[in-house]
A and B are shown apart, each in its own frame.
Chain A
Amino acid sequence: MNAAAADQIFVTLKHWALVHTPASLQVLVSILLTIIPIIVIFPAIFALSVLLERKGLGRMQNRYGPNRVGPFGILQPIADALKSLTKEDIVPRSADHVVHYLAPLVLVGAAFLGYAVLPIGRNMVAANLDAGVLFFFAIGAATELAVFMAGWSSRNKYSLLGAMRAIAQMVSYEIPLILSSVAVVMMSGTLSTTSIVERQAHYTATLAHWNVFTPWGLAGFFLFMISGMAETNRSPFDLPEGESEIIAGYFIEYSGFKFALFFLAEYLEIFSISGLGITLFLGGWSSPFSFFAWIPSWIWFFTKLFTFILFFIWVRGTLPRLRMDQLMNFAWKFMLPMALIVILSAGIWRFLPAQSAEMAVVRWLVCAVIIAVPYVVLARALEQGKRIEKRTYRYAE
């Protein structure tokens, strides 16, 4: 089959199935055929990424990861799933049972809802909303609520501490997250995720028009990814579940399947934020070079998603945790001004002329300098503020 057919294979399959269903059921079947692949595929990627994380972390730490269950430990996720399903579900007696029960469900539900607006391939988006990006961020706020529900209902000081930290962190990092995507929205002129991807899918001299190839796009991409890591409580921002201090933070009182649901929700959020980052900055399902455009679009999307997952695992294995006040400092005094400067740079990009190659280069350099100089200034200021210095040591006589 040729490239276009491979690209649209799932769309074709769905149309074929719909043609063969009676008219009264077509709406229901269409909905199911859209939702069920999402509910099946992303948890499958979750299982795979849990395994990759353990093996990746292991290799970084000079050891094998799990390798006993199945060859190379491939069946480890199944073992983990069985374990969490069969563990006793302990709920503290003084906990608020209703809220305690609902918290993981709300979290998982909200995490799944975010996938509705991610275009996984050409013509493959669950809900083609005109305000897709806005919908995504609105759903993101619901996850914060669920985290707080979990922490509060457990009636445990550690989980309360964890929940407070989580709320403060997630709320603070929403701002740079949204502001960095505002730059993209501004340049694309639309909130619809499919249109944003389509605008990036054109090629000039074999290079695509991805937003990340522009200076404001690159900076915005980094800001987005860092804020995304903080949103999903992923190391180095995992203070709410600070393993060595407050043991497990807001899900300390959860065991068994509910714990697995929290875990699932964390990874689903990672995938969906990565997916949004791919959509906004990395051109969604388009390929970077025109000579690779024959590879199906959904394969590109998942390749980029896996690169993100590997990068997250890499960062987790390297960096220690930031403390709470340092997290806040970083968000408000560094990320927020940088996000505003990225928007400024994007605006200047829009209005500088770039008809010829030299003018394009000049435009790139000007916008890059507009971002780089405040970056250095802010970084130095942050360092001064915290009194961090490189020290030298003396020896006794």
Chain B
Amino acid sequence: MSNDLLEVDPIAGQGEIMEVSMGPHHPSTHGVFRMDVRLEGEKVVRLKPVFGYLHRNHEKIAEHGAYLAAIPYTDRLDYLCSMTNNWGYCLAVEKLAGITVPERAEYIRVIVAELTRFQNHAGLVGFLLQDMGASGTPLMYAFREREKVLDLFESLSGARMMCNYMRFGGLRVDATAAWLDEVRRLLPALPRFLDEFENLLRANEILMARTQGTGRLSRELAVSAGVTGPMLRASGVNYDVRKVDKYGIYDRFDFRVPLGDHGDVYDRYMMRILEMRETVKILEQALRGIPEGPIMDPKVRLRGLRPKAGEAYGRIESPKGELGFFLISDGTTNPYRYRVRPPSMINLTILEDMCLGQNIADVVVTLGSVDIVLGEVDR
């Protein structure tokens, strides 16, 4: 399983080349995503990802509307993690317009972002096992926990997934004391779920045999391809935007960044489980330290925000990787240029290199470990 591209002439190649389109309708491609795979027997000799089936003109729509109107659309980028998408965009606008965020709002932002990270990783691990054929049992356990987090989001912001919760300068509504107590009540159950999950599958020989050694990604290739997030850390590169940029108030929390050594699917799977444990630590600290206070910068006008002309790039560590928003303002109510740096798509560009020389069954597992959400890949 070398990482350099195999030079294979598909017409005069060795053996019989079969071209299979793992098409947009597929149970395991995590969305409408197509891969044109050339197989020699069961080994992959070429893989071309084809996406764009879910392109919805997000950037153009955001450029047409006001700054406030883009926030509900960012919910729908990576539709599983709407809170962190909101935060990325609000961070960019706050940098552009010079808005400060009160402390309580920062704490609540951290709490909901870490809850989002937890439910995203839980869902992903469940889907990874579903792709491997565990007929849905780990998926159901993961979703059981995810439901609890989504219920929390519903009682806070009104919607389970399309939360539309953050605003420039703070939050839309305050979190009540009752809500914070509910989060405190949920927290002890999370490590127990993680233990149960690990019990079910970590020492499972079949899982280990299928994931250790598949989809290897070397450090150099990961860095040069711009891969970020748990995929990068699984290849051994210590880069977490929360530690590098220290945006928000992340420098006040004590949490570790797990690193992998082999860069294969097993490492990525374990990265997410270890990150879930770190998330629980951050949540505990945030819930202990949250102050009272306002949740919104009073000087901000949400409607008709006209930031001064300039540009800003706001980035956060979303559960998938580094999610960035680049905004150019020309002084009017609409942004001149709005660009999203989608971590899923950039992580996806390296898929072929990871899959060459492996079986077609491994392609599905590797794709699952990249953690793509087509809403973000296609925007």
Contacts and interface: CB of A to CB of B under 8 A. Distances in A.
Complex: A in contact with B (CB within 8 Å): yes
A320 B28 contact: no
A245 B28 contact: yes
Contacts, number: 124
B20 A158 contact: yes
Given A323-B362, A394-B259, A389 B131 contact: no
Interface in A266-287: none
A395 B133 contact: no
B144 interface: yes
A393 B42 contact: no
A320 B265 CA distance: 15
B133 A57 contact: no
A388 B361 contact: no
B364 A244 contact: yes
Interface in A173-202: none
Interface string B193-214: 0000000110111111110110
Contacts of B136: 57, 61
A235 B133 contact: yes
Contacts of A386: 209, 212-213
Query: What's the interface size class on B, roughly?
Result: 35 or more
Interface string B239-262: 010010000000000001111111
Interface string B1-45: 000000000000000001110000011100000000000001000
Given A60-B137, A244-B364, A396-B257, A391 B132 contact: no
Interface in A60-95: 60-63
A20 interface: no
A57 B137 CA distance: 8
B258 A395 contact: yes
B210 A323 contact: yes
Contact of B28 (A236, A244, A324): A244
B141 interface: yes
A247 B240 CA distance: 37
Contact of A323 (B201, B257, B359): B359
A157 B36 CA distance: 13
A391 B259 CA distance: 12
Interface stretch (A2-10, A96-104, A128-136, A311-319): A311-319
Nearest to B273: A393
A321 interface: yes
Contacts of B212: 386-389, 391
A325 interface: yes
Contacts of B130: 244
Interface string A360-397: 00000000000000000000000100111111011111
B135 A317 contact: yes
B135 A316 contact: yes
Contacts of B256: 395-396
A63 B205 CA distance: 27
Nearest to A329: B209
B360 A322 contact: no
Interface string A131-155: 0000000000000000000000000
Given A319-B206, A320-B204, A320-B207, A391 B266 contact: yes
A60 B135 CA distance: 11
A180 to B, nearest CB: 21
A323 B132 CA distance: 9
Interface in B251-289: 256-262, 266-267, 270-271, 274
Residue from B26, B133, B207, B240 whose CB has the most chain A CB atoms within 10 Å: B133
9 contacts: A235-B135, A239-B133, A319-B134, A320-B133, A320-B134, A320-B210, A321-B210, A387-B212, A391-B266
Interface of B: 18-20, 26-28, 42, 129-137, 139-141, 144, 200-201, 203-210, 212-213, 238, 240, 243, 256-262, 266-267, 270-271, 274, 359-364
Interface of A: 57, 60-63, 157-158, 161, 235-236, 238-239, 242-247, 316-326, 383, 386-391, 393-397
